[in-house]
Structure 1
């Protein structure tokens, strides 16, 4: 197979599946051969990223991620995407382990926000992403005003990510909408969805009443652009 890319997923599997569905829905090929060439590492057994970030005595996801990168290196794809925000806690170590470009989900998301955007941005992310300030640092460096969830709101975000989506495959759109409403009541004029489980809920939300910046959708846009460029290579 030539002109292909790699997806390092499985964090979690439902979110990775949604990434693939969204990617393939972005164009309308007329035959099988017009779809993109890619390999998927759905490494479902990678230890939980947030658990490790909050407690470094817990199993680290890094060895498994590095093992996957090593295998991807042998296959030599054109680029790598990782549809998991919290996994970008390890992005520097992963980049050092490969000559293959890794699309940085965090940086791509913040870069996609117009520089003259002066609205307050609510931050809906996993506990691990919140504690490691992956998005907060990037947003503040660009001059954006960030609204962080309080303990009660973050607990609701954690419940949606883990209790409902990861553990039961339940989208719970009522809770999803409630989270967005609470950010809005705190002064947020848009909410950044910085967890692919939240992006999964957004994909299933038929209302979309409140504005969001969906990190997964921005990663999808960039992946689609790069994949299209591969298709036209001779």
Structure 2
């Protein structure tokens, strides 16, 4: 297993076993599904072979989309930064944030802490390139779409990310906010309308770019056309914590 070097009391570098910090609660169901993803994808035959993890489910983080679209972002940023610092102080060696919209702040937070934050959006774009994709559709919150988080990261890898038309985006938001976040399983009828619309966009895949949509996928079988960003994050977390991936 890989180790992380930290400074001891006299400045010497000391090895530290990897520990995953999960900055979650956005929403809590998505955090639970993310950790199940991690467990399912770790090659382990007993408790001790799973990666150590500290899960902070901070359900008090202000709504990400509302914060960004109203411009009132500082309270959310300060809350996320405090959470990231807490995970670092508790001995975590890497942080995963199973919330796409909150990645609006990740690069800024990364400058303030000393352990790496796994960038779910950037790594998803990297994964699509490795798969030979060229034009992904984006299914995400209004906040993620309007800030161009996926568009920018995909463009940096030579991908042309395509958000859905406004009527389709309203269906996506309805599934996220009116169904999954309320503890429901999500409407297959609404998703079928989304699926039909994506078929006419000329995309070679679609990114599930909201972790509530990852929860939807955990309830309903979706074809390989849909690439789950949270699954990308979970697999990266396993590898970065020195564990072997299990094929599922």
* Counterparts of 1:229 and 1:57, CA distance in 2: 39
**Which among 209, 213, 224 is matched to residue 227 of structure 2?**
213
- What is the match of residue 122 of structure 1? 137
Match 1:182 to one of 167, 185, 197: 197
TM-score by length of 1: 0.90
**Aligned pair count?**
229
Unmatched tracts of structure 1, length 5 or more: none
Superposed CA deviations along residues 191-232 of structure 1, whole A, max 9, x for unmatched, are: 1111111111122222x24611211111111011112349xx
Q: 2: distance between equivalents of 1:94 and 1:58?
A: 13
1:173 equivalent in structure 2: 188
| Range moving further from structure 2, 7-16 or 169-178 | 169-178
1:156-189: per-residue Cα shift (whole Å, max 9, x none)?
A: 0100110000023333233233322211122222
2:39 to 7, 11, 24: 24
| CA deviation profile, 1:135-173 (whole Å, cap 9, x unmatched) | 001212322223221110110010011000002333323
SS state at 2:99 partner: coil
Contact 1:69/1:97 (8 A) holds in 2: no
TM-score normalised per structure 2: 0.85
Instruction: Tell me what 1:199 maps to.
Output: 214
Q: Distance in 2 between matches of 1:95 and 1:31?
A: 33
Q: Secondary structure at the match of 2:75?
A: coil
Aligned to 1:68: 83
**Runs ≥4 in structure 1, deviation > 4 angstroms?**
none
- Coordinate RMSD, CA, aligned: 2.1
Tell whether the 8 Å contact from 2:43 to 2:243 is kept in structure 1 after alignment. no
